[in-house]
């Protein structure tokens, strides 16, 4: 499944309006903010259709999992948007992550729990906001709820003492070269799940974290909690490969078209998260050229002045 979809879920009392762009969307919020109400409305519509008093407007079918036979249900549902409410223990399991990875559905998960087995984007973590406009006729009031992104792009105001990069491959090699010129210490965390411990173990108070935003969602809450003791900033583009593609170094209108609306090109069953798609795209577009890309080892052409400046230019546009 691919594409971006607007969903409006409503009855006579409430309305929820959200935009779904990827295979995994996380809805955050304390109790009584409307998460469970939203999922229950979808459940009612799945059971009774229009007779439930619920109306769902979406180009794709919306449904829920019962929780009892969730694995069989996911296998039986295709090309749909599946809603899940918190409370099911299987949501945080490796088996559920495996089922999501092989599914051709999108998933909207309402939970306060951090789901470390799912590679969801920092851009697809939402809170709920009441935008109700009351009328003088109280009996006709409807509660309108919209969704807002919890995490936004970070601004780099100061030069950090230390840079911690998620990976140990081409991305780290590029940022390490940049840091060397600026006399900044650069460390590879060798995986996003290790960044938290590296921040704790770093003696410098000013730290910049660089990671793939397309899959860094599970780490955001605990990493940002360290701002209480560290001067912590972060740069989280979709991926290092996305930066290269965005720089214009790779010729062709096709690439730029994809970058404008990637959700129309990324098949969720094939690509668990978007950074994998951008890696495949960059590898394909640069093969047999002087910019041939390998994730394991950085092509030195990307460290040449023209090429490096083009990538740095994207970074400056993103963070300003």
Tens digits of residue pLDDT in 108-125: 999 988 999 999 999 999
pLDDT band at 140 (very low <50, low <70, confident <90, very high): very low
Q: How many CA atoms lie within 13 A of 170 on its CB side?
A: 23
> Are 57 and 195 found together in one domain?
no
262 and 283 assigned to the same domain: yes
Higher pLDDT, 119 or 30: 119
Q: How many domains does the chain have?
A: 2
Kind plus residue range of the DSSP H or E element containing 124: none
**Taking all residues of the chain, what is their mean pLDDT, rounded to a whole number?**
90
Per-residue pLDDT, 138? 47
Q: Are residues 20 and 112 in the same domain?
A: yes
Query: What is the rounded average pLDDT of the residues 192-197?
Result: 95
Q: Which of 134-143, 285-294, 302-311 has the lowest mean pLDDT?
A: 134-143
E strands, 131-181, are: 143-149, 162-165
- From 117, 149, 181, the end of a domain falls on 149
Say what the pTM is: 0.91
Most confident of 1-5, 138-142, 199-203: 1-5
One-character DSSP codes across 241-286? HHHHHHTT-S--HHHHHHHHSGGGT--TTT-SSHHHHHHHHHHHHH
Query: 190 with 86, same domain?
Result: no
- What are the tens digits of pLDDT across the range 217-246? 999 999 989 988 888 889 999 999 999 999
C-alpha span between 171 and 212 (Å, rounded): 10
- Are 115 and 208 within one domain? no
Mean pLDDT confidence for 1-26: 94
Using DSSP's 3-state secondary structure scheme, residue 23 falls into: coil
Check whether residue 42 and residue 145 sit in a common domain.
Answer: yes
Q: Which residue has the higher pLDDT, 32 or 220?
A: 220
Distance CA 235, CA 211 (A): 7
Closest CA to 193 of 164, 218, 163: 218
Nearest CA-CA partner of 210 in 93, 79, 315: 315
| Per-residue DSSP letter, 234 | E
Same domain, residue pair 173 and 138: no
Range of the domain at 76: 5-149
């Amino acid at each position: 499944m691919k594409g971006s979809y607007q969903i409006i879920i409503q009855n006579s009392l409430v309305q929820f309006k959200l935009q779904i762009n990827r295979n995994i969307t996380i809805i955050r919020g304390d109790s009584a903010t409307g998460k469970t109400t939203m999922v229950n409305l979808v459940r009612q519509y799945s059971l009774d259709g229009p007779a439930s008093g619920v109306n769902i407007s979406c180009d794709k079918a919306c449904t829920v999992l019962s929780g009892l036979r969730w694995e069989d249900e996911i296998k039986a549902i295709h090309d749909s948007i599946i809603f899940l409410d918190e409370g099911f223990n299987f949501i945080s399991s490796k088996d559920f992550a495996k089922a999501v990875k092989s599914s051709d559905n999108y998933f909207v998960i309402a939970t306060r729990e951090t789901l470390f087995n799912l590679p969801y984007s920092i851009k697809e973590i939402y809170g709920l906001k009441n935008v109700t406009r009351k009328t003088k006729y109280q009996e006709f009031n409807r509660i309108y709820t919209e969704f807002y992104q919890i995490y936004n792009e970070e601004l780099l105001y100061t030069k950090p003492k230390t840079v911690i990069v998620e990976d140990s491959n081409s991305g780290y090699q590029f940022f390490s070269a940049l840091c060397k010129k600026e006399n900044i210490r650069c460390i590879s965390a060798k995986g996003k799940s290790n960044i938290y411990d590296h921040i704790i173990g770093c003696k410098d108070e000013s730290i910049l974290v660089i990671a793939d935003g397309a899959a860094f969602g599970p780490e955001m809450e605990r990493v940002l909690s360290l701002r209480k003791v560290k001067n912590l900033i972060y740069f989280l583009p979709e991926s290092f490969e996305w930066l290269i593609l965005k720089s214009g170094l790779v010729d062709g209108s096709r690439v730029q078209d994809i970058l404008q609306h990637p959700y129309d090109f990324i098949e969720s069953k094939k690509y668990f998260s978007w950074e994998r798609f951008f890696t495949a795209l960059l590898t394909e577009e640069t093969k047999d050229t002087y910019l041939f890309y390998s994730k394991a080892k950085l092509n030195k052409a990307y460290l040449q002045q023209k090429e490096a400046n083009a990538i740095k230019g994207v970074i400056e546009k993103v963070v300003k």
